[in-house]
Every structure is written in C-alpha cells, then in structure tokens.
Structure 1
Amino acid sequence: QGSTQKYIVKNYFYYYLFKFSAALGEEIFYITFLPFTYWNIDHSVSRRMIIIWSIVMYIGQVSKDILKWPRPLSPPVVKLEMRTDAEYGMPSTHAMAATAISFSFFIATRNQYEYPFEFGLAAAFVFSTLVCLSRLYTGMHTVLDVIGGALISAVLLMLLYPVWDTIDHLLLTSPFCPLISIIVPLVLCYNYPKLDYYSPTRGDTTTILGAGAGATVGFWLNNQFAAASSTGEDFQLRLPLLTGKTMVVMLARFLVGILIILLTRQLMKSVVLGMLGYHYKFPMRDLAARRRPEVEVPYKFITYSSVGLTATVIVPLLHELLGLM
C-alpha cells in the first residue's frame, strides 16, 4: 500500500458530496440504515434487504479475490481512501451494495405501500448512482469496475426477486433456520479464497455474513415466539401521515437502538478477542495475529452476529419496555 497522496481540492461541493456518498457503502451506513428500517419502517422490507445484501456482498467480495483485477494505478489517479486499497477492484462492492439495497428497498416498499412509482425509482437510481460515482471520484475503481458491480447486483436481484417471498417464509418458519443461518455462513467464511497477501475482504465478508446470520436468527425467534416486533403491521407508516410525535418516537427508537448496538459491538469485540487471545496465546493488540483466519473469522462472526441478533430481538424488546412501540 502506498502512502497518502497530497492533493488540492478545487470543488468542495463535489468533494464532500462524493465523500459522503462513498460512506453509503460502508459499515457506518449498514449499521444505521438497516436497523432503522427494521425498527421504524417495516420488518418485511428490512428482512428482504438484509438477505439480498448478504448474498450480493458475499458474491461480490469473492468475485474480487477470484478475478484479481487491480485497482486503478496511482498515479495518475489520486486515491482518497487507503483502507480498501489492498483489495482488488472488480467488481465494485460499493456499487453492488448500493444497487442491491436501494432497489430492494424500492421493490419491497412498493409491495407494501402506495406511493408514486416514479419517485421510488428515481430515489433508488440517484442513491446508487451517487455511490457509483463516488468510487470514481475517490480513485478507488475504474468505470468498468463500477458498471460491472451494478450489473451483477441487478442480475442477482432479478434472479432472487421471484423467490424472495419463499426464502423469507422459510427463514421465518423452518425449524432448521437457526442452524443453517449459522453453519452456512461460517463454512463460507472459513473457505474464503486464499490470497498471497492479507486483504480486508475476508474480514469484511465475515462481518456482513455474521450480521446477516444474527439478524436472520432474530427474525426466526421473533416469529416463533410471536414477539411484538415480529411484524411491521404496527408501524406501517406512510410518509404523508408522519406527525411530529411519530417522528420523535422514531428518532427515540433509533437513538436507543444504535446506542445498544454500539455497546454490544464494543463489548463483544473485547470479550471475543480476549478469549481468542487467551486460547491462541497472543496479545490483543497483535494485528498480525488478529488477521489469521482462525482468529479473524470467529472474532468478526461472533461479534457481528451478536449485533444482528441484538438489533432484531433485544432492541425491540427494549423499545417495548420503554413504551416506544
């Protein structure tokens, strides 16, 4: 990885617009928007988005490390991000995630609510386009990487859409759901394509699959035990009907939920890493040891599956206890 390049910002509007847009494909967006949808909009919409997101991102991350197409050379481009520079470029998983999340949200909400088709389509298109353009602006991808990512995501969405109701039903009702939701992602993470050098793709993939696994188990538990949070019927809100009181309650749910999620993530990181460090005899600050598969996979999977489970089970129960339901 190269050192950070010096550059001059000539247009701060584009600079901050695309820096913000790039963040829409990062953990900070996933850990806020996906739970917000579950707590405040509609559970069925959230379930479909999380399943699509998990599948699309796994395929995208694995494709990168199989194809091994390099990122744009620097120079001539200036790279505004360094964390993911060690990853390969094709396809752009930012483009894949943005396309999958925005259009699955659009399709799922159109199946639940009545609102102008053109508005939803335009919003999904603008969202995904901004994220795609941000990858070019930040110098992290070529045009082909971005187009390839968006097209792959679109194809996967078209293939999954006809069966996503069936998948959703099975995940809610099958007695094997918890077992499958944990074992299959773990097997995929442990059998992730090996590279000649360390890349954050395996860790990021484990994070995504772990969060998806925890959330899926949470969906199943809510459905089995008929928790108040198991359906979105109580809060099938349409934007024109939003009131000041409703918005305050939604904000309160979000703030309480995010606080619990962040505390859970920090607690589980410390506990799991401490246990792994004790078992494998390495200090917690040993970065090289934390990158070993036998450490990285359980560390990230357990941490983020706990986050997913907390977001879908613990937080709604706390909302009910606090009178926010």
Structure 2
Amino acid sequence: MQGGRSDNSVLGSWGGKFDVRASSEGESSGYESEVEITSRISLGYTFDAVLHSLRTFFAVSISLPVAWMCLHPTIGSFRARKFRMVDKGTKTVVWVQKKLRSRLGDYYFGFFSFCAEEEFYLLLLPFLIWNVDHILGRRVTLIVCIGLVLGNTMKDVFGLPRPPSPPVWRPAHQEAIDSTNLQDFGFPSTHAMNAVSNSAFTFLYLTSTPSTFNVQDILSDRKNALMFAFVILYISSLCLSRLYLGAHTPTDLRGGLSLGVILTATYWASSEVIDSYYLSTPNLLLKLIFTGMITLLLMPQPRPVTPTFSQNALLCGLITGCCYGSRQYVDLKSISFHGNAIITGDGMTFSLPEYVPVDLVRSIFLAWNPYLRTFIRTIFGYIVVLLLRVVAKSVSTMILSCVGISVKPHIDRQMSRQRRRKKLRVVRLFTRDIDIVGSAIVKMFTYSVLAWAITFFVPFLDCVLGLLEYEQNQLI
C-alpha cells in the first residue's frame, strides 16, 4: 500500500505540490514535507511509475471538482487561496474562544465534538441496527464511512493545516479524544461532513422518499418541523464545537458542510439502487475485498505519513463487513425451529447439540418484557462484538507474523545500538518502525469482522435465543 514513490508531486501538473509555501513572502504552512522516506522498498520502476500515475488520477478526480465548484481552475490555485484563509480563520477561532469560553461550554461543545468520533458511532450504530431499524442503521453506516474516505483523501491532497496552537487554545484531552489525534490535515472538516450526512440523511429517510420529496409537505407536519429544528441544532453545535476546541478554521467547516450536503443528496437519491446492488450481486465478498484493496492502494501518500491511511483501512473494513453482513441477514428470509435444528428461509440448517436447551432459553426470553429484552439484547450484542474484535485482531496479527509481516515489530535495543555503531542501514519490510501494510490489513480485517457481527451475527444469535423476533426487524 505504501510502496511506490512519494506523492508529494501529485499536484505537480495541476498547479502546486503538497509542500508548497503558503505565499510568495515565504510563509510556511507548518506542514512542509522535509522528511524523505528512504526506508521503503521499491517495487520496480515501472510499477512505481504506473502506481504514481493512478494515484495522481484518483486524487485529482476526487479533489479537482471541489476546486472547480469554488471557481478555481486548478487544485494549486484553490489550495493557495485556502492557505491565506487559514491565517484569517485562526484569528476567528481565537475570537470565538475568547467570547464563548466557559466551563459549561467546555462540556457542551466537548460532547458534541465527540458525537462525530469513532467511539460514538460504534455505540450508536449497533443500537440502531439491533433495536430500531436495520435498513436505516446500515445506510447511515455506509454514508458516514464513504464520506470519511472521501474527506480523508481530500485532506491529503489539499494539505491545509489546522489552526496552530498557540495562539489557539485546545483542551489537554482533545488530541486523545480525536480519532486521528489531530495529526491529519484540516480541510475539509470530516466532523462537519458527518454532522450533515448522518443527521440530514436520517431526517430524509424518516420523512420522505426521493420520488415523493416536497419540502412544504414535510415541514407542514409538526413532528417533522421539530425534527428538522433538532437537525439544525445538532449540525450547528457540532460545527461550532470544532471552532471552540481549536480543531478547525471556518474554511474547513464550510468545505465540510458543503461536501456533506452534496454527499447526502447523492446517497439519499441512490440508496435504493445501492442497496439493490449489494443485496443481489453474486460474489459480493470478493468484490468488496477487491474494491477496498484498490481504494487503499490508490490513496495519496503524503510525506510524512498522516493517520488518514490507517483510518481509511478501518473504514474500508467497515464498509465490507456492513455490506456482506446485511446481505447474509437478508438472505436468511426467515428462521424456524424444529427441536435443536435451526432452519433458515434460504434452505440452510444448523443443528445444535442436544444438551443445548434452545427451546427453554427461547421460551424464557420471549416471556420477558420487551424493554428488558431490548436492554439484554443490546448488552449481549456489545459483549459479542468486543470479543470478536479482540479475536479477529489477535488472529490476523498472528497470521501476518507467521508470514514475516510484523505489525508491531519487537525492537532489540542492544542489536540496534550495535547496528548504529557499524553504520549499517537496517530496512524492515516497507518501513523502519511499523509495517503500514500489515497494520492496514489488520485494521481492515478486524473491522470487517466487527461490522459483519453487528449487521448479521448478533441479530442472528438474538433470533436464535428469542431476544429478537426475525419478522420485527426490517430487511429490504
């Protein structure tokens, strides 16, 4: 994934480079790529050249339309303009912090900023899938993941810095909470993209369909109007939290909001077609794995490396597991029980050992209060998902270690000192410190298993145990 040339020149023919200066006066962006990665292993001149060309095309095809929408002919001119706006935006961030800073504000905006983090989605989306609406849950998962992949790619292409601290204030815990530790670039704000995509898509899903969409009809309903007001409050609070916490400038937020609107409109209009494809196409798993690997291979590789590549591997895993798990769940069609035999609508039969009292367990859980079953179902699901995550990560790491790819290589300090004294250049597979390819494989596999468990395995177990009636959960 990290093989090939450094992509600092990906914009060379499009009006700029990743480490271009902020202005003709020589002001630095603070993110110049002064470190040359010499420890990577070349895969051959021809392969490197082809890969570099494909990465350039991929980066430009995603980012150049954004420049055109802002009436800039090239990515370079767009980036130079945004660089100048970062300095102005930093002053705006400082002004906002001086006006709004308070203990209550720290808690309020800290909470809303958390509402677009990985941990929040890993708590909310499973609950949505298991207890509310399977279709809505999987579609929100996909729109969030797709938006993050696109946003992360644009961040590495545009390379616009976050507001510097100081003068901007940041809470001591902010970097620890942020999924990338604020070590990635700033434009566009993926928090702003998520704020629009998850809330606006949910609102549209619950109130209308693409074929019957009418703003006046939707907002004339009192409940819909109240829901819309909550969506506006949520988006406004989350975006303002990024200014308050010093994570983004206004230009980052404007870009994120605009792209979030475009993504929401596009995905909402095509969600039925997308669902229809991955719920019916043959060889789905192979197609998902191939698409994920190609996507990661084509990701821009700025130097120094940013956390976005690792996060994109995680996101590709979530997309793979979500689509495949949803497909398996829909393919069940129905579940019936004959003694200890479980028969699904697609003709599959699972036989449990005679000593497993399936009928007794089902009768007990089905007799419980629905709210209690929901609580037990949720806690049980989280436990299963966490256990599978640990197992998947351990197994994938062990397998990679057996074939010589160490995700977290052991460092023999004595041997390292001896090598330094001998002035020998030691090169591990792909990188000196950590095998980025191995890390990406582990993340993609682990989160594929996690998403598969959320969309299929846990609901299936719930149906077997009597914690969930299969017919109660929407399928298509």
* TM-score band, normalised by shorter chain: 0.7 to 0.9
Which among 237, 253, 260 is matched to residue 153 of structure 1? 260
Q: Retained in 1: the 8 A contact 2:154–2:187?
A: yes
What displacement does 1:24 show?
Answer: 1.1
Distance (Å, rounded) in 2 between the aligned partners of 1:134 and 1:289? 38
Which among 312, 316, 323 is matched to residue 455 of structure 2? 312
What displacement does 1:186 show?
Answer: 2.0
Range moving further from structure 2, 103-112 or 202-211: 103-112
Range moving further from structure 2, 315-324 or 60-69: 315-324
What displacement does 1:206 show?
Answer: 1.4
Against the structure 1 CA distance between its residues 61 and 10, is the aligned structure 2 distance closer, same or farther, given a 3 Å change threshold?
Answer: closer
Correspondences of 1:1-325 after superposition (within 5 Å): 11-80=102-171, 81-82=174-175, 83-111=180-208, 116-227=223-334, 245-280=369-404, 282=406, 284=408, 291-325=434-468
TM-score, normalised on structure 1? 0.86
Q: Please state whether the residue corresponding to 1:53 is helix, strand or coil.
A: helix
What displacement does 1:250 show?
Answer: 2.3
Against the structure 1 CA distance between its residues 139 and 211, is the aligned structure 2 distance closer, same or farther, given a 3 Å change threshold?
Answer: same
- Residue by residue, what CA displacement relative to the aligned partner does 1:40-76 show, whole Å, maximum 9, x if unpaired? 1111212221221222111111010011000101111
What displacement does 1:282 show?
Answer: 3.6
Against the structure 1 CA distance between its residues 201 and 56, is the aligned structure 2 distance closer, same or farther, given a 3 Å change threshold?
Answer: same
What displacement does 1:100 show?
Answer: 0.9
- Residue by residue, what CA displacement relative to the aligned partner does 1:238-260 show, whole Å, maximum 9, x if unpaired? xxxxxx94433222222111111
Return the letter of the residue paired with 1:103. Answer: A
Q: Retained in 2: the 8 A contact 1:178–1:220?
A: no
Return the letter of the residue paired with 2:390. Answer: Q
Q: Please state whether the residue corresponding to 1:194 is helix, strand or coil.
A: coil
Against the structure 1 CA distance between its residues 251 and 90, is the aligned structure 2 distance closer, same or farther, given a 3 Å change threshold?
Answer: same
Distance (Å, rounded) in 2 between the aligned partners of 1:10 and 1:126? 19
Q: Please state whether the residue corresponding to 2:403 is helix, strand or coil.
A: helix
Matched residues, number: 306
Against the structure 1 CA distance between its residues 310 and 73, is the aligned structure 2 distance closer, same or farther, given a 3 Å change threshold?
Answer: same
Q: Retained in 1: the 8 A contact 2:129–2:455?
A: yes
Q: Retained in 1: the 8 A contact 2:318–2:450?
A: yes
Aligned equivalent of 1:241: none
Q: Retained in 2: the 8 A contact 1:173–1:224?
A: no
Q: Please state whether the residue corresponding to 2:181 is helix, strand or coil.
A: helix
5+ residue gaps in structure 1? 2-8, 231-243
Q: Retained in 2: the 8 A contact 1:290–1:296?
A: no
Q: Retained in 2: the 8 A contact 1:47–1:168?
A: no
Q: Please state whether the residue corresponding to 2:168 is helix, strand or coil.
A: coil
Distance (Å, rounded) in 1 between the aligned partners of 2:135 and 2:159? 36
TM-score, normalised on structure 2? 0.60
Q: Retained in 2: the 8 A contact 1:89–1:145?
A: yes
Range moving further from structure 2, 124-133 or 148-157: 124-133
Aligned equivalent of 1:233: none
Against the structure 1 CA distance between its residues 264 and 48, is the aligned structure 2 distance closer, same or farther, given a 3 Å change threshold?
Answer: same
Larger C-alpha radius of gyration, 1 or 2? 2
Q: Which of the two has greater helix per residue?
A: 1
5+ residue gaps in structure 2? 1-29, 31-99, 210-220, 336-343, 345-367, 412-430, 469-476
Against the structure 1 CA distance between its residues 152 and 252, is the aligned structure 2 distance closer, same or farther, given a 3 Å change threshold?
Answer: same
What displacement does 1:265 show?
Answer: 1.3
- Residue by residue, what CA displacement relative to the aligned partner does 1:174-205 show, whole Å, maximum 9, x if unpaired? 22433322221221113211010121111111
What displacement does 1:285 show?
Answer: 6.0
RMSD: 2.8
Distance (Å, rounded) in 2 between the aligned partners of 1:163 and 1:196? 36
Overall identity of the aligned pairs, in %: 28
Return the letter of the residue paired with 1:264. Answer: L
Return the letter of the residue paired with 1:107. Answer: L
Distance (Å, rounded) in 1 between the aligned partners of 2:152 and 2:409? 26
